[in-house]
Chain A
Amino acid sequence: MTTRRGFLATLLAAGAAPRLGWAAVGNPAYLAAAREADGAFAMVGLAVDGTEAFRVPLPARGHAGAGHPARAEAVAFARRPGAHALAIDCATGAVVARLTPPEGRQFNGHGVFAEGGAVLFTSEQDRDTSNGVIGLWDVEAGYRRTGELASHGIGPHDLRLMPDGRTLVVANGGIATDPTDRTKLNLDSMRPNLAYIAFDGTLREQVELEPDLWRNSIRHLAVRADGLVGFAMQWEGEPGAETPLLGLHRRGGVPLLASAPLADELAMQGYAGSIAFSGSGEEVAITSPRGGRLHRFAAAGGFLGSVSRADVCGLAALPDGLLASDGLGGLIAVTAGGVRPLAATDHAWDNHLVRLRG
């Protein structure tokens, strides 16, 4: 039955979203930043079989993106220290809005839509102190900056929306950096944490590791539909340490740290660049472009095996496993049936594959 209220709501929604949906751009399942063969940079939409759905040019190397939940619109973040992000209409390639952080703030490479796409949250830091900030942007008002929250840590990097749709989980990497480049300033005193933050800024929960792992920077996140959070770390201590690079946490619980057997763990070179749960949620994987490896774990933390692939970094769920991308242009499906190359492209895929619509 069409009620007056329902009708008005439809009308408003239609008016607020005049642009095309994802179906109009080939129903991509993933977003990835890339460098093309001629040296130009682009954001590419990929279908679930690894084929290209769309490609729009970017002015500089991208790091990660955020896809609008309904419209064919994506925000591409520059690499740290980011001075801007671009909201792009993926059907036309037009820049819908240019997001510039307020004076004294810089983007840290990740962002996430919430409230059905009405709000964008961005990870940022204070230019001078590296204190973490979550920026709030009103999407319908043309990506207008409306406020900010404390990230409750230094140098936040990845952030995700929890399944309740009302809480953010933030990886506060703990590393203070020079305002002009990425020189690390506080490796002796760094203290990363995982923070759960309500949209009003209330800190719901904060997780820290034992002091001997404070030099393990918590940087990237994956969230399973039931609220299990996976976090990937990067070791900033002496090289050659066999520190765990994967953590799993459930609200209210103690974090579970997962390692591979010694030789495999050492081969990761203390570095995990991306993390994702598999399509079924039964597995979680991390990648190390430095080690040229992907490590698979059961969601309970047990090591399942490794895949060797030079410069592998991007990682996202496939319906029956995981999709990995690399700097050589490869897209690889990692499933129970084995490792299957999906495509060898001439793009150098950048650090992250972002799954669209969950």
Chain B
Amino acid sequence: MSAGEVGNAAYLTGDEALRAIYTQLLAGLEWTADKRLGRPIGTFDRPRPRMAEGWRSGRSLRNVVLAAETAHDLAHALAQGLVPGGLPRTDTAFAQVRAAADRITDPGFQDIEDPQARLRVEILQQAVRAMKDAIEAEIGTSLGIAAGFNSQDGD
């Protein structure tokens, strides 16, 4: 609305506001893959089921699915009218997240010490990362936007 006007240095152009939302979208999926799933996965020698988010109430898996659903909705909202042809890759990747989630038997990831169960959670983690890649490819590339340059550098 007032992008670039005197006194508004938060966003200099409308495109920047878009980038801020886009960065949040990618960061959200990254967090889901790294923390919601990565923490309980731990290492092969030392899985950490108690690090799963909301494991006591058995909500760990549900939170992952909800996060992916929200990201999928937000990606479509962002792309509306801007990315011609919709988001086929993102849609496929999201369907794969759902399929991977359906194969998981313990919604609290407490069976992760079992190698088979662990593999299923790892596949879900890969599907979430693939969804992030798809969004980057379909939205980021076609809009010519890249996520935060300095905030992810750390120096």
Asked if chains A and B come from one complex, the reply is yes
Q: Which residues on A are within 8 Å of B, measured CB to CB?
A: 35, 37, 63, 79-80, 109, 157, 182, 219, 271, 273, 289-290, 292, 307-313, 326-330, 332, 338-341, 344, 348-351
Annotate B2-26 by CB proximity to A: 1 below 8 A, 0 otherwise: 0010111111110010011001000
Q: Which residues on B are within 8 Å of A, measured CB to CB?
A: 4, 6-13, 16, 19-20, 23, 144, 146, 148-151, 153-155
Consensus secondary structure, chain A interface: strand
Do A310 and B148 have beta carbons less than 8 Å apart?
yes
Return chain A residues, CB-CB under 8 Å to B9.
Answer: 307-309, 330, 332, 339-341
* Bound CA–CA A238/B79 (angstroms): 37
The one of B6, B8, B144, B148 in contact with A311, judged by C-beta atoms closer than 8 angstroms, is B148
The one of B4, B6, B10, B149 in contact with A350, judged by C-beta atoms closer than 8 angstroms, is B149
Give the Cβ gap from B98 to chain A, nearest Cβ, in Å.
31
* Bound CA–CA A326/B13 (angstroms): 13
Return chain B residues, CB-CB under 8 Å to A340.
Answer: 6, 9
Do B151 and A63 have beta carbons less than 8 Å apart?
no
Return chain A residues, CB-CB under 8 Å to B8.
Answer: 341
* Bound CA–CA A298/B132 (angstroms): 43
Q: A290-B151, A348-B149, A351-B150 are in contact. List 16 more A-B contacts (CB 8 A).
A: A35-B149, A182-B154, A273-B155, A289-B151, A308-B9, A309-B9, A310-B23, A327-B148, A328-B12, A328-B19, A330-B12, A330-B16, A338-B7, A339-B9, A341-B6, A341-B8
* Bound CA–CA A273/B10 (angstroms): 18
> Given A63-B155, A109-B155, A310-B19, A344 and B150 touching (CB < 8 A)?
no
Return chain A residues, CB-CB under 8 Å to B7.
Answer: 338-339
Do A344 and B13 have beta carbons less than 8 Å apart?
yes
Do A289 and B10 have beta carbons less than 8 Å apart?
no
* Bound CA–CA A338/B151 (angstroms): 24
Instruction: Identify the 8 closest CB pairs spanning chains A and B, nearest first.
Output: A327-B149, A289-B150, A313-B150, A289-B151, A348-B149, A344-B12, A339-B9, A327-B150
Give the Cβ gap from A304 to chain B, nearest Cβ, in Å.
16
Give the Cβ gap from A41 to chain B, nearest Cβ, in Å.
11
